Structure 1
Amino acid sequence: MKQDWERLEAWLRLNEAKTLADLNSPATTTAIQDLERRLGCSLPSGYIECLKIHAGQQGKAKWLFDGNEFLSLQNVILSWATWNDLLEDGDLEGSTAQSDKGIQAVWWSRGWIPFASNGGGDFLCLDMTPASGGRSGQVIEIFHDFPARKLVAPDFNSWFSNFVGSKLG
């Protein structure tokens, strides 16, 4: 994780200095523990390592993840809570998802932890409650108005490493 961040930061320094400056400081262990407590789950070690380098973006520059903002801890909670409110209020009843193998066939699960967003209601999430054949911590993509629930990567580390590799060419 550290090497990938060093490579990405070097590239950002040369190509997107405003995005680099928009990255938050590292999250403290206490802040991460509070996040896990509020979410009701332990987060994958790779994501925790990432947060200990940069805890998301401030949201004042170009989004880091190719059209997706790297969510701050506060925005992770806000996004997760918003989806849960929709679920608990019954707003998602009757919505049928089309999920890739290993992902629950539901519109939203409390075990999906958003870490990046396109700002239009679509998210990259850590799937902490996968279906049979899935892996806890796999990265999935969900859409607010489209039924597809797509498997993006088997875990956060490989997702981040692939992102950095594609960004740097």
Structure 2
Amino acid sequence: MQQLWHELETFLKTNNPEQLDDLNPPASSAQIHELEKLLGVTLPDDFKTCLMRHDGQRGGAEWLFEGYEFLSARKIGLEWSALRRLLDRGDLDEPLGKPDPAVRHAWWDPHWIPFAANGAGDNLCLDLAPTREGNHGQVISYSHEFPRRSVKAPDFSAWFKAFANRLCA
């Protein structure tokens, strides 16, 4: 993870310094612990390592993850809490289409941890409660509008590596 971040930062320094400057300083262990406490989960180590390099973006530049803002620990908590409130009110119980066999058949699950948001209600999430066909910590897409949930990568490291390779190629 550290090497991938180094390569990404080097690329951004030359090609998009505003985006590099928009990255927050590292999250502290205490911030990550508080986030885990709020979410009621233990975050995957690779994702915690990522947050300890950069705690998301400030939000003053182009979003880092191909149209998605890299969320800070604070914003992850806010995004998750908003979805949790909708779930608790019964607003997320609409009919679903055919599910991806690796993803739980639900409109939203509290074990889906948003780490990137497009500002319109869609997220990239860490799936910490996959089906037997899935992987703990797999990256999935969540749409507020469309019921199909799909796996983007088997874990955060694989997703981040693919993202960095596409961007830096």
Global fold match (TM > 0.5): yes
The equivalent residue for 2:5 is 5
Q: How far is 1:25 from its partner?
A: 0.4
The equivalent residue for 1:25 is 25
State how many pairs are aligned: 169
- Give 1:8-87 correspondences, 5 Å limit: 8-87=8-87
Q: How far is 1:161 from its partner?
A: 0.6
The equivalent residue for 2:122 is 122
Q: How far is 1:98 from its partner?
A: 3.6
Runs of at least 4 residues off by over 4 Å: none
Q: Give 5+ residue unaligned stretches, structure 1.
A: none
Are 1:142 and 2:139 an aligned pair?
no
Q: How far is 1:82 from its partner?
A: 0.8
Q: Give 5+ residue unaligned stretches, structure 2.
A: none
Going from structure 1 to structure 2, the CA distance change for 1:160 and 1:52 (only over 3 Å counts) comes to same
Aligned partner of 1:55: which letter?
D
Q: How far is 1:97 from its partner?
A: 4.6
CA distance in 1, matches of 2:93, 2:10: 46
TM-score, normalised with respect to structure 2: 0.97
Aligned partner of 1:95: which letter?
P
Q: How far is 1:102 from its partner?
A: 1.2
- Alignment check: 8 A CA contact 1:97 1:148 kept: yes
* Percent identity of equivalent pairs: 44
Q: How far is 1:95 from its partner?
A: 3.1
Q: Note the alpha carbon deviations across 1:25-57, whole angstroms, 9 max, x for none.
A: 001111111111111000001000100100100
User: What SS does the aligned partner of 2:149 have?
Assistant: strand
Q: Note the alpha carbon deviations across 1:125-161, whole angstroms, 9 max, x for none.
A: 0000111211110000010000110100000001001
Aligned partner of 1:125: which letter?
C
* Alignment root-mean-square deviation, CA: 0.9
Going from structure 1 to structure 2, the CA distance change for 1:73 and 1:97 (only over 3 Å counts) comes to farther
CA distance in 1, matches of 2:93, 2:49: 36
- Alignment check: 8 A CA contact 1:97 1:106 kept: no
Going from structure 1 to structure 2, the CA distance change for 1:153 and 1:121 (only over 3 Å counts) comes to same
The equivalent residue for 1:92 is 92
- Alignment check: 8 A CA contact 2:71 2:117 kept: yes
